[in-house]
A and B are shown apart, each in its own frame.
Chain A
């Protein structure tokens, strides 16, 4: 079986704080893989290593057959990333944003116009192509943010909390769109705090806490193993019900310093 992502003992430490500790997982090609965990579990740091934004302290990660440290540009070409923060320039128009990223990813100029139109029509933003993104509603921005990540036809799409702070209509649209991506044969990794969303979308799940992977496997197997009705039950059985007051290390992981 081929894997879109394979990690072995992947570890990241920031000044002695271990945000990700020896994570080994495999993500099947063409599947939707849910990555769950409480705040500070290390999900975002893990994803930033996969995306080549952070250099692992130890271990290794192979994404679409390429090592994230040795072949970062090959990894970057293979993945499309939708972060919690929008990777869009508010003063540029929707079309300009897509063209900018298309050019950065080497989309041929002959295909650019067609590609931009196709994606904007798909997310019902073609009529707004000349409007600055700063004037868009949060739902419109997120739709554009998602197709921005698809400009270069990636094989793996990584979505970090893609439905955070969206209205129910936009949430539904995003979930349906993620399913469409799978139908097209893409691999999707999605993080979310919404357990219903995780259950609806994911075929395989990894549950992380305090930098470790506590459990990984197909959703149904995990529910059977823990005698649980829902993913939320599995999650709470593994991570406990107590509130998390410890410092998460999130700033150092997601921020710059």
Chain B
């Protein structure tokens, strides 16, 4: 009895595995997915020293010899640390824009007159942290404090008063960093997988033929289904947004219209990507797996959950070609840092171009897939 039970179990397992083996997208996913998973989690929770070469801006407004000497000494020590990469400038506003865009993670400002102040026994250096990722902030803050404590000339550590502050008021927590990414992800991922799933389900059911035989434009079918996904994405993001604000005390500092614009662009772009992917698969399970393969790495590589700085350069290069990266970065800059339109304009225009290109490819490919 038991032997036949085991034999039947093995028989069914063999049948399932054979089915699995015969459908190549499933097979590829089985092999590639664990590799991707390990790489991503490995870098998400780094063992040690994974964060280095964090870009910071040093603003030197004091052009006096003492002021220049102080700034040069700081830059020298910062560059030698290995943790920080320094860009020098004389413009505070430019540096702040870079901070909002996540191009730098801290600004060290040597204000006008600091040289003179030092000569008379004291002076204040202002440090602005980006505040979006407490782990990164803490590492950068610790390193800057250490550098100032090592400074011996032209100022002794005791003579310098280092003031740390953020671009936004109050103390931010991890969720301040996570919330915009999670909202953007929720809105967008639905568009990607939802569209593929609805098309493949209708294909399998046969109902898509019913739509295709109706005297309506194919574009109406495509855009109607896309619109449904946009609504779903919008509802999901509102839910995540409300939970973030009500339960986790996430503050919104940005312009709501710009936030909606970025999200809407993201949802459109990903709906187009979903359509493109749908043109290549015919059954629901394959569609699900392909979407998983696209979504999962994108979630981790977009910077939604942890700073891109933690990634090695080659994975960072991949993240820079993912549209979610730009949605997350622009949405976060707007929501938490109240970025002006000019600061997020490259992302907004880039996403618009990406969306147009994706739809220009997806619509004819999809139409060809349904009427061979």
Q: Given that A14-B372, A255-B282, A256-B369 are contacting pairs, would A51 and B203 also be in contact in the complex, using a CB cutoff of 8 Å?
A: no
Cβ distance B338 to chain A, nearest Cβ, rounded Å: 44
Q: Which of A79-87, A211-219, A225-233 contacts B (4 or more CB under 8 A)?
A: A79-87
In chain A, positions 44-96 with a C-beta closer than 8 Å to chain B are 51-55, 73-74, 76-77, 79, 81, 83-90
The answer to the question of B205 belonging to the interface, with a C-beta cut-off of 8 Å to chain A, is yes
- Whether A55 contacts B372 by the Cβ 8 Å rule is yes
In chain A, positions 90-111 with a C-beta closer than 8 Å to chain B are 90, 101, 104-106
> Which residues of the partner chain B approach A73 to less than 8 Å between Cβ atoms?
215-216
- Whether B214 contacts A104 by the Cβ 8 Å rule is yes
Cβ distance B20 to chain A, nearest Cβ, rounded Å: 19
In chain B, positions 317-346 with a C-beta closer than 8 Å to chain A are none
A51 to B372 CA separation, bound complex (whole angstroms) = 13
Interface residues on A, range: 20 to 34
- Whether B372 contacts A87 by the Cβ 8 Å rule is no
Q: Given that A54-B372, A256-B370 are contacting pairs, would A85 and B206 also be in contact in the complex, using a CB cutoff of 8 Å?
A: yes
- Whether A81 contacts B213 by the Cβ 8 Å rule is yes
Query: Per a CB cutoff under 8 Å, which of B206, B209, B215 touches A106?
Result: B215
In chain B, positions 83-98 with a C-beta closer than 8 Å to chain A are none
A84 to B214 CA separation, bound complex (whole angstroms) = 17
Q: Given that A53-B371, A54-B371, A256-B370 are contacting pairs, would A77 and B206 also be in contact in the complex, using a CB cutoff of 8 Å?
A: no
- The CB with the most chain B CB atoms within 10 A, among A52, A53, A81, A86, is that of A53
> Which residues of the partner chain A approach B203 to less than 8 Å between Cβ atoms?
256
A77 to B213 CA separation, bound complex (whole angstroms) = 9
The answer to the question of B212 belonging to the interface, with a C-beta cut-off of 8 Å to chain A, is yes
- Whether B205 contacts A76 by the Cβ 8 Å rule is no
In chain A, positions 1-56 with a C-beta closer than 8 Å to chain B are 14, 51-55
- Whether A76 contacts B372 by the Cβ 8 Å rule is no
The answer to the question of A114 belonging to the interface, with a C-beta cut-off of 8 Å to chain B, is no
Please give 9 more A-B residue pairs, beta carbons under 8 A apart, in addition to A53-B212, A88-B207.
Answer: A53-B213, A54-B372, A74-B215, A86-B205, A87-B210, A89-B205, A256-B282, A256-B370, A257-B282
A-to-B contact residues, CB < 8 Å: 14, 51-55, 73-74, 76-77, 79, 81, 83-90, 101, 104-106, 148, 255-257
29 inter-chain pairs at a CB distance below 8 angstroms, sorted by A residue, are A14-B372, A52-B213, A52-B371, A53-B209, A53-B212, A53-B213, A73-B215, A73-B216, A74-B215, A76-B215, A79-B213, A81-B209, A81-B213, A83-B206, A83-B209, A85-B205, A85-B209, A86-B207, A87-B210, A89-B205, A104-B211, A104-B216, A105-B214, A255-B282, A256-B203, A256-B282, A256-B370, A257-B282, A257-B369
Listed from nearest, the 4 A-B pairs whose CB atoms lie closest are: A85-B206, A87-B210, A104-B214, A76-B215
